[in-house]
Structure formats: structure tokens, C-alpha cells
């Protein structure tokens, strides 16, 4: 096997008015033909920067400040743009993350493939088209002769990613850099795409760098792994060795933070030194503010009972006549007992988030009943009465960047529910409670005067949690609370949620597409598909003895980390 691409001592800096920021330093990587190298790390670790630097695609103000990139024995760093353009696509090509935006929406697949081929290879248009059809067949697009003249929007996400792969391969490059190629795809499609990539690399003898944050993807496809942390490769070696017996502390904590699909643990171990998150004190619920007025009266039966819930969205223009209905939630029933964590799992578009928004009252259901603590919420007409119930349930959202108002200080964000529901006597008391809540979620008591943009995604999610706690809820709805976070941050946030639940006796509805996360968090799980519940079972039963066909299908696709540290 010959070395195709060799990156030696690469240093990339971004110049800014606050001084240079080094995004990558002293990075050494190489790939041979037929080999797949995984580059894994969390956001901001410099993974994508490496890929872009190798391709000559660094955008200003980024620049290569040292080291060499050698492609098949020739140095390619510092080549003039025109020479680099000739190489890109022909010798080295790239597969991007988002298949929805990496194709030109105005040109047919045929045009895009043929232009790329005729630019780099000595082919006539007719020959190029013939090869394009063969290539589409190869990447698994059914009926390529008919579909080649379609536009990108006529393909599904997974099919589009296949087209992107075909586009990356069409000029027969020897090196392919795939930057998070499956992150935007559902798990069932992810498995197919990874299979395809592996097969193509083996048959064509190309070398591939696959950049990902997902240990599961690495385990599935990579021969060797390089772990990146803060711009440096901290550890590199064969996949089995790195995943099974890592040397570096960071790698160890990264692997232990990956939720395990096979067994439920009480907490995620070894995650404390990743992002400092102040030590937590336990609180005494009897004397603490959060524990006041918690005597809701005896409750027999479930805390939340959802009966035959239906939600129909009307889509299409008001005048066009093309209005049709979409049944986002179609006859869903489930109960959640007090103190329980109930999971909703399903692929995107299965109606999970809609259910969360129906329960919290953001949407009004078109049918069915939501009974909370014995009261049918639809039957309450007075706003004050409704607010009294709503206060007891709060929600934590998916996107940490849009779920806190960027124009408000953190203290004001957390204080708002307390002030609105008049849960404290004086302004000074409110401030004290806010500081205490922020401290309790691990942000420290002094952050109230800062704005959200001064915090990372994980910290913002903690702000969201503090805001949710500020109404003294007893029911918490978590809608994909960690799917936008890095895996180590996810572990910390999930640990926090578990601690809070134990301390405050919270009941939770936990929504996720991620089966291992569900397994770690939930007592019972409902599997959703196209607005309906396929199966409800206690978590262990569901994972060990799935009854439903679709559940089995989902479980089979779940990425398994072979040889994960026990």
C-alpha cells in the first residue's frame, strides 16, 4: 500500500483583531490506498479545518501557517488557486455534511456529473453521461437512466447524499475527504451510506479521511483513528486499539461519555474534566425554595394521561386550493406515572416533538384529551386556572442557540417565570433564587449579569434547565435536549438531569431519536412512527425483547461501538 496523502506538522491559524487563533497545530496524518482514516473530535477541535486545509478550501481569515500537505508525493500546500482547482475533484475530492445544500438546486444531476467529468477527464459528453449512469447505479440509486435528468429536490436526503458521493467519485480521485457525511441523515440511512463508502474505498483502492464527532461511525467504518482535541491530534492508532484501550485521558473520557446501547448505567463516568461545571451541592428539599408548595394533594392514577391525541396540520397556500392535511399525531395514547421517565423515540418526522408541544399547550390538539394530574387541560377556559396547571410542567428544548433569548441577560431569563407567576416576595428574593438556581445547574451564582452568547451550547442548555426549574415544576418535558451537543457535554447534561430528577422527584417525558440515550435515561419507552405509537414497553424489555417489527429494525440499525471500554 502506498501513501496517498500525507499531512505533516500542519498548523492552521485564523487571524482576528483579538490576535491569531490557532485552530490546528502540529497535525500529522497519512492515508494509504484502500484505507479509511477516521478523524474524531468534538466541535471546535479542528477536524473540519484539517480537511479544508488539505483541500485548499480554507476561507479567509484562516491560513496554513506551517507544515506540509503531500498528495501522491507532490506538495500541494501553497499551490496557486488555479493549480489547486485542477487537483480538486480529479485527485482529491470532498463529501460534505448537508446533502440538502451541497448540490446545485438549479441544475439536473446529469448536468452536474457530466460537467465535473468533462472538466477533469478527457471524455466526450456522451461518454461522460454513460459513465454517470453507471456511477449512479454503483452508489445505489435505483433506475439511474430515468433519474439522471431529475433535479436535486426530487431526491430524498439519503438519495441526495448518494448523488453527492457519486459527484465526489466521478473524476476518479484517489483521496476522498468526507466531512460528517452521515450527520444530517437518519440512522437507517446512515448505515447504508457507511456501507457504500466502505465498499467504494475497497473496490477503487482510494484512500478516505472520514471526519466525524460520532464514535459509532468511527467504530463502523474506520481502519485507523486520530483523536483531535483543541487543535491537536492527541492519540492515533488502529480503531480497535483506540476504542478498546485508549491511552490518552481525553480519549478515555470521550469514549466513556458515549451512551451505551447495551446496558443502563446510573451516571456517565469520567466526564468531569471536559467542561468545568462547578461542583454541585445537594439541596434539602424541605427547606429549599424549590421544595415550597409541593403538596399538590394525593394523586391516584398517572400524572399525565394522553388519550387518542390527534394533531392535523393544514399545509399549502390559503388561495392556491392545494391545501391538504398532514396527520402529525394520529391517535396516540399513553400514561406517565409520577416520578417516572417516559421516553418517546422515533425517526425525524415521526411526531415526537409535536406531542411535546401539544402537552405544553404551544399547539392546540385537533382531537383527543390531555389529562394532567386528573384535570383535562382542554376543559379549562380561564387563563389563570390554565397557568396554574401549566406552571407545573416545563420544557427543555433542542436547540441551545435559539431557546434562550439572545437579547436578555441570563438572570432576567431565569427570573421571568418567577416574576410572572409571583413565586417570590421581593425583587431581592428573586435575585437570590435566580443565583441559587444558576449555581445549582452548575453555572455558578455569578453568571446572572452575562448574555447568552458568552456561553457554550452545553452551558446554554443549563440556562434552559434553570429557567424550566424556575416555575417549580413537577413535570419536565425534554425535547431532544442533547442532540445538538457534543457527546461529552451531552453526558454532563444528562447527568445533571438525572441528579435533578432524583433530588426533586421530577416526572419526565424524554424525547430523543437516539436509542442509547433513551436507554440511559428512561424507565419506559414508546416507539413512534408516522404519528402513531408502534410499541410501549419498559426500557429493558424493549431493548432486550422487542415485540414490534419496526422496533427490531431500529435496534438493528443502532451503531454499536465494538470493544468499548467497560
Partner 1 sequence: MSEVEGVVEGETIGVWGRMVQSDLWYSFTHSPLAMISALFALVFILACLFAGFVAPHDPFNLASVSLFDSLLPPAWQDGGNISYLLGTDDQGRDVFSTILYGGRISLLVGFLSVAFAAVLGIAVGLVAGYAGGITDAIFMRIADIQLSFPAILIALLIDGVFRGLLPRGLHDEVAVYVLVLSIGLSFWVQYARTVRSSVMIERTKEYVQAGQVIGLPPGTILFRHILPNVLGPVLVIATIQLALAIITEATLSFLGVGVPPTQPSLGTLIRIGNDYLFSGEWWITIFPGIALVLLVLSINLLGDWLRDALNPKLR
Residues that bind partner 1 (CB under 8 A): 14, 16-19, 21, 44, 318, 357, 360-362, 383, 386-387, 390-391, 393-395, 397-399, 402-408, 416-417, 420-421, 446, 449-450, 453-454, 456, 464, 467, 471
Distant-in-sequence, close-in-space partners of 439: CB < 8 Å, separation ≥ 6: 278, 445
- Residue 413 CB, shortest distance to partner 1, in Å, is 8
Give the separation between CA 210 and CA 36, rounded to whole angstroms: 7
Q: In this complex, which beta carbon is closest to partner 1, that of residue 379 or of residue 406?
A: 406
- Residue 455 CB, shortest distance to partner 1, in Å, is 8
Element (H, E) at 13: strand 3-14
Alpha carbon of 140 to those of 17, 193, 306, 342, 400: distances in Å? Answer: 48, 10, 42, 38, 36
Q: In this complex, which beta carbon is closest to partner 1, that of residue 404 or of residue 489?
A: 404
DSSP SS3 for 523 = coil
- Residue 28 CB, shortest distance to partner 1, in Å, is 23
As to burial, measured by CB atoms within 10 angstroms (0-12 exposed, 13-18 middle, 19+ buried), residue 327 is middle
Give the separation between CA 454 and CA 148, rounded to whole angstroms: 47
Q: In this complex, which beta carbon is closest to partner 1, that of residue 297 or of residue 406?
A: 406
Phi/psi of residue 60, nearest 5 degrees: -55, 145
Q: In this complex, which beta carbon is closest to partner 1, that of residue 245 or of residue 401?
A: 401
- Residue 193 CB, shortest distance to partner 1, in Å, is 29
CA atoms within 13 A on the CB side of 6: 9
- Residue 16 CB, shortest distance to partner 1, in Å, is 5
Q: In this complex, which beta carbon is closest to partner 1, that of residue 109 or of residue 470?
A: 470
Give the separation between CA 369 and CA 304, rounded to whole angstroms: 11
Q: In this complex, which beta carbon is closest to partner 1, that of residue 126 or of residue 383?
A: 383
The residue with cell 471500554 is 565
Q: Beta-strand (E) ranges in 439-523? A: 475-479, 507-512
Q: In this complex, which beta carbon is closest to partner 1, that of residue 155 or of residue 475?
A: 475
Q: Are 167 and 112 in contact (CB under 8 A)?
A: yes
| 216: DSSP letter | H
Q: In this complex, which beta carbon is closest to partner 1, that of residue 18 or of residue 286?
A: 18
- Residue 303 CB, shortest distance to partner 1, in Å, is 17
- Residue 467 CB, shortest distance to partner 1, in Å, is 7
Helices (H), 124-230: 125-138, 144-147, 157-169, 187-204, 215-221
Q: In this complex, which beta carbon is closest to partner 1, that of residue 485 or of residue 533?
A: 485
Give the separation between CA 183 and CA 342, rounded to whole angstroms: 26
- Residue 42 CB, shortest distance to partner 1, in Å, is 14
- Residue 342 CB, shortest distance to partner 1, in Å, is 18
The full DSSP string for 300-359 is -S-SEEEEEEEEEEEES-TTTS--EEEEEEEEEEEEE-TT-EEEEE--TTSSHHHHHHHH
Amino acid at each position: 500500500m502506498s501513501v496517498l496523502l500525507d499531512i505533516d506538522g500542519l498548523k492552521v491559524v485564523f487571524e482576528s483583531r483579538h490576535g491569531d487563533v490557532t485552530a490546528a497545530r502540529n497535525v500529522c496524518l497519512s492515508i494509504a490506498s484502500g484505507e479509511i482514516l477516521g478523524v474524531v473530535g468534538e466541535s471546535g477541535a479542528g477536524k473540519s479545518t484539517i480537511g479544508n486545509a488539505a483541500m485548499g478550501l480554507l476561507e479567509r481569515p484562516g491560513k496554513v501557517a506551517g507544515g506540509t500537505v503531500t498528495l501522491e508525493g507532490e506538495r500541494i500546500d501553497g499551490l496557486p488557486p488555479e493549480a489547486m482547482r485542477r487537483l480538486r475533484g480529479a485527485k482529491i475530492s470532498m463529501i460534505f455534511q448537508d446533502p440538502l445544500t451541497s448540490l446545485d438546486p438549479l441544475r439536473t444531476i446529469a448536468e452536474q456529473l457530466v460537467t465535473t467529468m468533462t472538466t477533469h477527464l478527457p471524455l466526450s459528453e456522451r461518454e461522460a453521461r454513460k459513465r454517470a449512469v453507471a456511477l449512479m447505479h454503483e452508489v445505489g440509486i435505483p433506475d439511474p437512466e430515468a433519474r439522471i435528468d431529475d433535479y436535486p429536490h426530487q431526491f430524498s436526503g439519503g438519495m441526495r447524499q448518494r448523488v453527492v458521493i457519486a459527484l465526489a467519485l466521478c473524476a476518479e480521485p484517489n483521496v476522498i475527504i468526507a466531512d460528517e457525511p452521515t450527520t444530517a441523515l437518519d440512522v437507517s440511512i446512515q448505515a447504508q451510506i457507511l456501507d457504500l463508502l466502505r465498499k467504494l474505498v475497497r473496490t477503487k483502492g482510494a484512500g478516505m479521511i472520514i471526519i466525524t464527532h460520532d464514535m459509532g461511525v468511527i467504530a463502523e467504518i474506520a481502519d485507523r483513528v486520530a483523536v483531535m482535541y483543541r487543535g491537536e491530534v492527541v492519540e492515533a492508532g488502529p480503531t480497535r486499539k483506540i476504542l478498546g484501550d485508549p491511552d490518552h485521558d481525553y480519549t478515555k473520557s470521550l469514549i466513556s461519555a458515549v451512551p451505551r446501547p447495551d446496558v443502563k448505567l446510573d451516571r456517565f463516568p469520567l466526564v468531569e474534566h471536559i467542561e468545568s461545571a462547578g461542583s454541585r451541592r445537594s439541596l434539602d428539599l424541605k427547606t429549599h425554595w424549590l421544595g415550597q408548595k409541593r403538596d399538590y394533594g394525593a394523586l391516584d392514577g398517572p400524572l399525565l394521561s394522553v388519550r387518542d391525541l390527534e394533531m392535523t396540520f393544514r399545509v399549502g397556500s390559503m388561495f392556491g386550493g392545494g391545501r391538504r392535511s398532514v396527520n402529525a399525531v394520529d391517535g396516540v395514547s399513553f400514561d406517565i406515572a409520577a416520578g417516572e421517565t417516559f421516553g418517546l423515540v422515533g425517526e425525524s418526522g415521526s411526531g415526537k416533538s409535536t406531542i411535546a408541544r401539544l402537552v405544553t399547550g404551544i399547539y392546540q390538539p385537533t382531537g383527543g384529551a390531555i389529562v394532567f394530574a386528573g384535570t383535562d387541560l382542554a376543559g379549562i377556559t380561564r387563563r389563570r386556572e390554565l397557568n396554574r396547571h401549566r406552571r407545573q410542567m416545563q420544557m427543555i428544548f433542542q436547540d441551545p442557540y435559539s431557546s434562550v433569548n439572545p437579547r436578555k441577560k441570563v438572570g432576567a431569563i431565569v427570573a421571568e417565570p418567577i416574576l410572572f407567576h409571583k413565586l417570590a416576595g421581593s425583587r431581592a428574593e428573586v435575585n437570590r433564587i435566580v443565583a441559587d438556581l444558576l449555581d445549582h445547574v452548575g453555572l455558578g451564582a455569578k453568571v446572572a449579569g452575562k448574555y447568552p452568547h458568552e456561553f457554550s451550547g452545553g452551558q446554554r442548555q443549563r440556562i434552559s434547565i434553570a429557567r424550566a426549574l424556575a416555575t417549580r415544576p413537577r413535570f419536565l418535558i425534554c425535547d431532544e435536549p442533547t442532540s445538538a451537543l457534543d457527546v461529552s457535554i451531552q453526558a454532563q447534561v444528562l447527568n445533571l438531569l438525572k441528579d435533578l430528577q432524583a433530588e426533586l422527584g421530577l416526572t419526565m417525558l424524554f424525547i430523543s431519536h437516539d436509542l442509547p440515550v433513551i436507554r440511559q435515561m428512561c424507565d419506559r419507552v414508546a416507539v413512534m412512527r408516522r404519528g402513531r405509537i408502534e410499541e410501549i414497553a419498559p426500557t429493558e424489555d424493549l431493548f432486550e425483547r422487542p415485540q414490534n417489527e419496526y422496533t427490531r429494525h431500529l435496534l438493528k440499525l443502532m451503531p454499536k461501538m465494538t470493544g468499548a471500554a467497560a
